[in-house]
């Protein structure tokens, strides 16, 4: 059997609607192409603007960080000086107390040695001085003879 092509009758209103849809579709397509083209042209400039803005923010951030580091270092230095002063003060007190304890210890040891009959350094020095005087007198007496 032979096929017979049958043309479907299309009304005029349907053809205008179809043409309108095709027109709008084409406009949408062209708008998309235009946006793509414009983004391509302006994209490089926009990217440069973003880079400049980023560099500015980075510079401000570095400056802020530097200021905060400087402030922290200043605080550390002041605390460090305060601690050094306090350590020196405490060290002086400790040394004073240590000297007192040392003198008390020396007195106790000397007292204990005296009780045992062992002469102190002062006693030995006094005896040495007397011996020096006696030796000098003996030498004069020997020369006089």
64 Cα distance to chain centroid: 15
Angle at 72 between CA 67 and CA 73, to 5 degrees: 95
Please check the confidence at residue 40 and state whether its pLDDT lies above 60: yes
Is this model's pTM higher than 0.85 or not? no
User: What is the share, in percent, of the chain residues with pLDDT greater than 70?
Assistant: 89
Domain boundaries, the chain: 15-138
Please check the confidence at residue 9 and state whether its pLDDT lies above 60: no
Give the span between the Cα atoms of 111 and 92, in whole angstroms. 29
Q: How confident is the model at residue 30 (pLDDT cuts 50, 70, 90)?
A: confident
Q: How does pLDDT run across 99-136, given as a tens digit for each residue? A: 998 998 888 888 888 888 888 888 889 989 999 999 99
């Amino acid at each position: 059997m032979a096929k017979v092509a049958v043309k479907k009758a299309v009304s005029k209103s349907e053809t205008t609607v179809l043409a309108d849809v095709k027109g709008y579709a084409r406009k949408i397509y062209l708008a998309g192409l235009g946006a793509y083209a414009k983004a391509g042209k302006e994209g490089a400039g926009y990217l440069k603007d973003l880079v400049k803005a980023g560099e500015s923010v980075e510079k401000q951030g570095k400056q802020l960080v530097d200021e905060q580091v400087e402030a922290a270092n200043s605080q550390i230095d002041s605390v460090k000086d305060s601690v050094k002063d306090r350590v020196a003060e405490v060290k002086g007190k400790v040394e004073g107390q240590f000297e007192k304890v040392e003198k008390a210890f020396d007195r106790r040891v000397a007292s204990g040695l005296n009780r045992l009959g062992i002469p102190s350094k002062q006693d030995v020095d006094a005896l040495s001085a007397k011996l020096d005087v006696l030796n000098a007198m003996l030498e004069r007496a020997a020369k006089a003879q």
